[in-house]
Amino acid sequence: METVADYFGSNVFDDRTQKAMLSTDVYQSLRRTIDEGAPLEEKVANAVALAMKDWALEKGVTHYTHWFQPLTSVTAEKHDSFIEPSPDGRVIMEFTGKNLVQAEPDASSFPSGGLRETCSARGYSVWDPTSYAFVKEKTLYIPAAFCSYTGEILDQKAPLLRSMEALSTQAKRILKLFGKNVKCVKTSVGPEQEYFLVDEEMFKARPDLVFSGRTLFGAPAPKGQELDDQYFGILPARVKEFMEDLDRELWSVGILSKTEHNEVAPAQHEMAPIYNMTNIAVDGNNMSMEIMQKVARRHGLVCLLHEKPFDGVNGSGKHNNWSMATDEGENLLSPGHDPFHTPQFMLVLTSVIEAVDTYQDLLRVSVASAGNDHRLGANEAPPAVISVYLGDELNRVVEHAMSGEEYEGHHKQSMDLGVTVLPKLKQDTTDRNRTSPFAFTGNKFEFRMVGSTANIADVNTMLNAAVAEVMKRYADELESASDLDAAIKTLVQRQLNAHKRIIFNGNGYTDEWIEEAARRGLSNYKTTPDAIPHLVDEENVKMLTDLKIFTDVELKARCTIKLEEYTKKVLIEAKTMVEMANQDILPAIENYEEELLSLAAKKQSLNRNVGAYETGLLDDLGEKVDEIYTAKCALAAKIEKVSAEVDAKAAAELVRDEILPAMDALRAPVDAAEVVMPKMEWPYPSYGDLLFGVDA
């Protein structure tokens, strides 16, 4: 029988395959590029291309594509076949180093936020040798970065790679203080991905799901998640089959899918892979989202990745577990047995705390989207305010470091019990930190504000950059210190005190915390249009341009793109609502009114009493129809108003202030009508059908 070990990574041109198929020289040179960022030599590229082609052809592959991440929410690919004409009138399969390294997709159809005016329509995609190429559906996928003809980056991967490099450079300086000369420091990420599964036929019957990925109408089902019987519940057979199939596909392209379980809401599930180097984890998460959607269809299901597919039940997010480790495998966030007396850990921890405080706006910006606005602060995801949770034990350590007092603390007691601090810390943190946006969980931080559809490249770029910047300042200060131990202690004490406002160990879901956070001066941007403009705040631009992660122009462009995306997404929803009201909902109610009226007329003609049911319902539905019609006209007018607004920021604000309330005003009478209408007369599957349909 074929085992998982047999096919795991079988479709990936991974290290094992590279070693087997490349000459020692070429392999070692490629490894230097991957591990140490050494420039790629042309002859190495040619040799790799040849080996990649041979490997792919054996798998029946006919095409190759540079696979990249433009500034949309999906990845992009343009397939070219390997064929080249040969003099004998037939074809040969060709793939050169040049094909591997660079391609020229037209950039003009991807968002550029005005960059297009300053550069030509041409764009380049450039091979990223640090993320493995893989085969999917007879195509060789080559992970690539994407930039304009003039070099402005138009994608998510290039800044991520730059941020990883910046962090590595600065973290190496920090480690050097402790006498450690490592080759590199890499960040790792384990993204936990939430999603919903609904029946495909029901999905197709709902224009809102088809066009916007979420329900825009729908009265609550009698049962929701109140019984807490979903989380880790038994998987319905169809879902179980889907997950088995999904794992197989993910494993074959080398994605380390590890955990699958039911989530809190009905029909909601989660897939968590084992963590990997950030760049690979980001590519893996993008590929996972795509594969999930494809595999679901094979099982007559649709995978909804939207942050809020259903009102009134939990939405979906993505927990971004993040840590830093050296090439020798030392995790810089590992507290060890006695964190208080481990200056390196204290310094690294302080740098993360300071980074999150100083650049909280950038982290908030990196998770802002129309979909995620429905979650953050809605008592299901962390609030829109960023804070750091340390857990009881580490918090005591940090408090002592702030006051300068000696700390003997719990570790002794724990050691007496034969238990190390690390498992103890884990135990402490696991159940009480669910409401925190940025929680320390044993040997990593878990950033929980990310939306389920997001490309996690963005949040990791900001996180790496922020930490790199702070480490840079620390290294500048400490490299010249004569008494290093004393200097570290002073720095840690000073910086923790300066940034202690970001530490919060209480319940992040309460109103009291939001008030307290305001007193502490923490930002609270409730919506995307509130958050995004802070991307170009002076100190943020300075940090990101100093570290050479973005240029000024690129940041302004990104700001515009994000605002425009918000506006476009909500406008699609608004237009869908108007169409649904016009084409299905109003006619359905009117039809039913007509049936009631003709029933009443028949009753009257037979001298029978027209009862309270008929008259009451007719009055009720008549009222609803008026309300729906009025609200629909109002929404349509707002759509026109926003569509005429050319300024991206002004348009996004109009959406927030006028379109969203008008959408709510239309939804309310429609949902009220749904519950009084006969099920067979209502044009759409209900919340009950959608949320519990797959179980059946």
Query: Which letter does DSSP use for residue 584 in this model?
Result: I
Neighbours of 521 (CB within 10 A): 8
Region near Mg ion per CB under 5 A, out of 143-151, 319-327, 407-415, 471-479: 319-327
Q: Which does 157 bind (CB under 5 to 8 A by kind): ligand ADP, Mg ion, none?
A: none
How near is the Cβ of 209 to ligand ADP at its closest, in Å?
28
Residue nearest to ligand ADP (CB): 190
d(CA 334, CA 348): 10
How near is the Cβ of 257 to ligand ADP at its closest, in Å?
10
Q: What are phi and psi of 682, to 5 degrees?
A: -85, 135
Q: Specify the residue, 17 or 429, whose C-beta has the smaller distance to Mg ion.
A: 429
Region near Mg ion per CB under 5 A, out of 259-267, 312-320, 371-379, 496-504: 312-320
Region near Mg ion per CB under 5 A, out of 93-101, 196-204, 315-323, 627-635: 315-323
Confirm if 57 and 91 have CB atoms less than 8 A apart: no
Q: Specify the residue, 237 or 274, whose C-beta has the smaller distance to ligand ADP.
A: 274
Confirm if 388 and 382 have CB atoms less than 8 A apart: no
Pick one of 69, 323, 360, 560: the residue that binds ligand ADP (CB under 6 A): 323
Neighbours of 87 (CB within 10 A): 6
Q: What are phi and psi of 368, to 5 degrees?
A: -80, 125
Pick one of 44, 107, 272, 462: the residue that binds ligand ADP (CB under 6 A): 272
Q: Specify the residue, 424 or 638, whose C-beta has the smaller distance to ligand ADP.
A: 424
Q: Which does 274 bind (CB under 5 to 8 A by kind): Mg ion, ligand ADP, none?
A: ligand ADP
89: left (phi over 0), alpha (psi -120 to 50) or beta: left
Q: Which does 273 bind (CB under 5 to 8 A by kind): Mg ion, ligand ADP, none?
A: ligand ADP
Instruction: Look at residue 131 and give its three-state secondary structure.
Output: coil
- Please give the structure tokens belonging to residue 188: 């790792």
Query: Which letter does DSSP use for residue 134 in this model?
Result: E
Residue 368's identity, in one-letter code, is A
Which 167-196 residues touch ligand ADP, going by CB under 6 A?
188-190, 192
Neighbours of 499 (CB within 10 A): 18
Residue 86's identity, in one-letter code, is S
Q: Specify the residue, 34 or 333, whose C-beta has the smaller distance to ligand ADP.
A: 333
User: Which residue in the block uniquely carries the two structure tokens 């135990």?
Assistant: 427
Q: Specify the residue, 213 or 339, whose C-beta has the smaller distance to ligand ADP.
A: 339
Q: Specify the residue, 72 or 443, whose C-beta has the smaller distance to ligand ADP.
A: 443
Region near Mg ion per CB under 5 A, out of 286-294, 318-326, 370-378, 521-529: 318-326
How near is the Cβ of 333 to Mg ion at its closest, in Å?
16
d(CA 402, CA 493): 5
d(CA 500, CA 483): 26
d(CA 167, CA 638): 46
d(CA 383, CA 372): 11
d(CA 646, CA 88): 57
Q: Specify the residue, 192 or 554, whose C-beta has the smaller distance to Mg ion.
A: 192
How near is the Cβ of 440 to ligand ADP at its closest, in Å?
11
How near is the Cβ of 425 to ligand ADP at its closest, in Å?
12
638 lies in the binding site for Mg ion (CB under 5 A)? no
Q: Which does 64 bind (CB under 5 to 8 A by kind): Mg ion, ligand ADP, none?
A: none
Q: Which does 427 bind (CB under 5 to 8 A by kind): Mg ion, ligand ADP, none?
A: none
How near is the Cβ of 389 to ligand ADP at its closest, in Å?
13
- Please give the structure tokens belonging to residue 454: 């997001």
d(CA 571, CA 578): 11
Length of the chain as a residue count: 696
Sign of CA dihedral 336, 342, 346, 347: negative
306 lies in the binding site for Mg ion (CB under 5 A)? no
Which 285-314 residues touch ligand ADP, going by CB under 6 A?
none
111 lies in the binding site for ligand ADP (CB under 6 A)? no
Provide the b/e sequence for 45-74 (b: ≥16 CB within 10 Å).
bbbbbbbbbebbeeeebebbbbbbbbbebe
How near is the Cβ of 312 to Mg ion at its closest, in Å?
23
User: Which residue in the block uniquely carries the two structure tokens 């380390």?
Assistant: 256
**CA dist 391 to 19, 190, 653, 658, Å?**
44, 20, 38, 41
Site track 189-228 with Mg ion (rule: CB under 5 A), x = hit: ----------------------------------------
Q: Specify the residue, 17 or 321, whose C-beta has the smaller distance to ligand ADP.
A: 321
Query: Which letter does DSSP use for residue 236 in this model?
Result: P
Q: Beta 102-103 vs 257-262: how paired, if at all?
A: unpaired
Please name which of 552, 558, 571 lies closest in space to residue 639, comparing C-alpha atoms. Answer: 571
Q: Which does 136 bind (CB under 5 to 8 A by kind): ligand ADP, Mg ion, none?
A: none
487 Cβ partners below 8 Å, 6+ apart? 477, 478, 481
20 lies in the binding site for ligand ADP (CB under 6 A)? no
Which 347-386 residues touch ligand ADP, going by CB under 6 A?
none
Q: Specify the residue, 443 or 524, whose C-beta has the smaller distance to ligand ADP.
A: 443
408 Cβ partners below 8 Å, 6+ apart? none
d(CA 285, CA 257): 10
Number of residues counted as binding Mg ion (CB under 5 A): 1
Region near ligand ADP per CB under 6 A, out of 85-93, 236-244, 319-327, 378-386: 319-327
How near is the Cβ of 285 to ligand ADP at its closest, in Å?
10
Q: Specify the residue, 429 or 560, whose C-beta has the smaller distance to ligand ADP.
A: 429
Pick one of 27, 217, 275, 340: the residue that binds ligand ADP (CB under 6 A): 275
Residue 50's identity, in one-letter code, is L
Number of residues counted as binding ligand ADP (CB under 6 A): 14
How near is the Cβ of 664 to ligand ADP at its closest, in Å?
34
- Please give the structure tokens belonging to residue 426: 């884990």
Pick one of 102, 169, 331, 551: the residue that binds ligand ADP (CB under 6 A): 331
- Please give the structure tokens belonging to residue 328: 């020798």
Pick one of 172, 319, 375, 472: the residue that binds Mg ion (CB under 5 A): 319
317 lies in the binding site for ligand ADP (CB under 6 A)? no
Task: List alpha helices for 231-298, DSSP H.
Answer: 237-252, 278-298
Angle, helix 157-177 to helix 457-478, in steps of 10 degrees: 30
Q: Which does 11 bind (CB under 5 to 8 A by kind): Mg ion, ligand ADP, none?
A: none
Residue nearest to Mg ion (CB): 319
Pick one of 69, 212, 321, 460: the residue that binds ligand ADP (CB under 6 A): 321
Q: Which does 443 bind (CB under 5 to 8 A by kind): ligand ADP, Mg ion, none?
A: ligand ADP
How near is the Cβ of 446 to Mg ion at its closest, in Å?
5
Q: Which residues pair with 136 in a beta bridge?
A: 139
Q: What is the DSSP string of 203-215?
A: HHT-HHHHHHSS-
203 lies in the binding site for ligand ADP (CB under 6 A)? no
How near is the Cβ of 277 to ligand ADP at its closest, in Å?
10
Residues making contact with Mg ion (CB under 5 A): 319
Contacting positions for ligand ADP (CB under 6 A): 188-190, 192, 272-275, 321-323, 331, 443-444
